[in-house]
Amino acid sequence: MKKLLFIFLIAFFSTPSLLGSDTISHSSWLISQSNGHETTFFFNLDGTCSYFQNTSPSGNEKAIFDECTWIQNDKLLFFETTNHFAIFVGFIKDNKIIGSSFSNYYDSPHTFEGIKIN
Model pLDDT for residues 53-69, shown as the tens digit of each residue:
999 988 889 999 999 99
- Give the residue among 72, 78, 70 at the shortest CA–CA distance from 16: 72
Which pLDDT band, with edges at 50, 70 and 90, does 21 fall under?
A: low
Q: Is 80 helix (H, G, I), strand (E, B) or coil?
A: strand
pLDDT for position 11 = 45
The values of phi and psi at residue 115, to 5°, are -125, 140
Strands 86-93 and 38-43: unpaired
In the chain, what are the domain boundaries?
26-116
The reported pTM is 0.80
- The predicted-structure confidence for 26-37, as pLDDT tens digits, reads as follows 999 999 999 999
What is the amino acid identity at position 61? E
Third-level CATH fold of 26-116? Lipocalin (2.40.128)
